[in-house]
Amino acid sequence: MADTRTIVVLIDMDGTLFDFDIKILEAVQRYDSSVNKDNMWTKINENPELKKIKNQTEFANGFFYTLPLIPGAKEAINRMIERGWKVYICSSPSVTSDDCHSSKNRIMKDIFGEELARRLILTKDKTMVRGDVLIDDRSKITGQYEPIWGHICFKNGYERTEETNAVDVLKGWSDDFIGKIEKIVHPNDHNYQE
């Protein structure tokens, strides 16, 4: 018997829908022009001054509202919704930013509309959220529970050195995200329809 339940896709915001790293890169490059996409996180972690600049940038009011959309993100979400999938945005809030919650809600409403903004889940522990798939730029997601969703790591082009617990990798929204989601949800059926 075919599985007819609705697929639930959880998508991270920062680094997956919106380009968090480009704003950080721009800020730290004003201090150190040798920083680039390939070495940014290593240099920030090794240099206290760069870490301070990164934190000041991220914690500034309005930061999350100014993040540019990653190419193909809006179209990808629309394709998932057209397939009848339930899409929820699952993002970690910054507790040191006074307006993180409202900025994330406002940018979701302005870019994706009120319906998707109502599906914004802000949590420090994504393992507590139910869904079939989580698409997130973090390589390893841990928390209180063993995740029930399959993790697809979204590679946004910035150097990351973390170990991973992802079951698949998405190299941008032009990659076959439909096939990767279907493979997780229906591992024995490789005849998905685009």
Among 3, 14, 38, 175, the one annotated catalytic: 14
d(CA 99, CA 181): 33
Give CA 143 to chain center in angstroms: 17
- The first and second tokens of residue 49, run together, are 């001054």
Helix (H, G, I), strand (E, B) or coil at 128: helix
Cβ density class 50-84: b for 16+ within 10 Å, e for less: beebbeebbeeeebbbebeebeebeebbeebeebe
**137 flagged as catalytic:** no
Residues with Cβ within 8 Å of residue 33, at least 6 apart in sequence: none
Residues with Cβ within 8 Å of residue 78, at least 6 apart in sequence: none
**176 flagged as catalytic:** no
Catalytic residues: 12, 14
